[in-house]
Amino acid sequence: MIENLNDFVKLLSQGVYVIGVTDGTHENAFTAAWVMQVSFNPPLLALSINPAYYSYQLLQKGEAFSVNVLGDHQYTTAAHFGNSSADKMKGYAWQKDTTGAPILSDALAYFDCKVRDTTPAGDHIIVIGEIISIGKLNPGKPLLYQQTDTMDNSKDLYA
């Protein structure tokens, strides 16, 4: 293992997002930092997800996801959706756009995406989604991954 790798990857500038998923019946969402734009035409976003997550089952079935941009005051929201549970939407106001994936009403903005492709990447799966719809919800500046410090316990995840 490369020493102190976690400290170095924390220097990569990344935002913090809540990814909403649904199988058409159940909704869930999880916090993600590994999200990026990957194409202009068509407009594509990619995210990297651990396939062991409950959220991945819903994403696979629903073939869609929402990317909710968190504001720099939404640290507790990032922590809440960073925990594993099938019941995380409870207590959070949410809405739907085209795909039906849950959108957090308190987010700064959202992207509603349909899955276009998936590709394995080590212990994660890269999911590429086409942006079907977008919306601005609240004013503010985005939360950055560096600001979440040890919230994701990533230091312990390198073998």
Q: Which residues bind ligand FMN (CB under 6 A)?
A: 16, 28, 30-34, 48-50, 53-55, 78, 82-85, 124, 148, 151-152
Q: CB-based contacts of 82: which residues, under 8 Å, 6+ apart?
A: 30, 31, 151, 152
Which residue lies nearest ligand FMN, judged by its C-beta?
82
Place of tokens 């394995």: 120
- Beta carbon of residue 97, minimum distance to ligand FMN (angstroms, whole number): 21
Taking the C-alpha atoms of residue 45 and residue 127, their distance in angstroms, rounded to an integer, is 8
Taking the least distance from each CB to ligand FMN, the nearer of 48 and 133 is: 48
Q: Give me the least distance between CB of 17 and ligand FMN, in Å please.
A: 8
Strands 94-95 and 64-69: unpaired
Residue 41 or 87 with smaller CB distance to ligand FMN: 87
Please report the sign of the dihedral spanned by the C-alpha atoms of residue 122, residue 123, residue 129, residue 133: negative
Question: Closest CB to ligand FMN among 11 and 41?
Answer: 11
CA neighbours within 13 Å on the CB side: how many for 86? 6
Q: Shortest distance, CB of residue 99 to ligand FMN, whole angstroms?
A: 18
- Closest contact distance (angstroms) between CB of 91 and ligand FMN is 15
